[in-house]
A = this chain, B = another copy of it.
């Protein structure tokens, strides 16, 4: 599934849920994504549950979407693919 466009409190956001084997793996993804966010100085909102991280990208300043949100969404998906691959290689 791809990113969906969601509206929360009048703010358009890009949203996608990523699945994991357990809570620890979900949190590890959040950590990696946090490092990426720091690097780009643009931060998502993250909802972490057991085996799932829902990521929302939007730009506070414009109360909606900026080009950078689409770029960060693509980078988030790439990070997930990359981590999934490392995990498989590790088995």
Complex alpha-carbon distance, A53 and B30, angstroms: 13
Q: How many residues of A contact B (CB 8 A)?
A: 16
Q: Given A45-B47, A47-B45, A50-B43, answer yes or no on A23-B27 (Cβ-Cβ < 8 Å).
A: no
B-facing residues in A9-60 (Cβ within 8 Å)? 23-24, 27, 30-31, 34, 37-38, 43, 45-50, 60
Complex alpha-carbon distance, A38 and B38, angstroms: 26
In the complex, the chain B residue whose C-beta lies closest to that of A49 is B45
CB distance from A15 to the nearest CB of B (A): 13
Residues of B within 8 A of A49 (CB): 43, 45-46
Complex alpha-carbon distance, A34 and B71, angstroms: 29
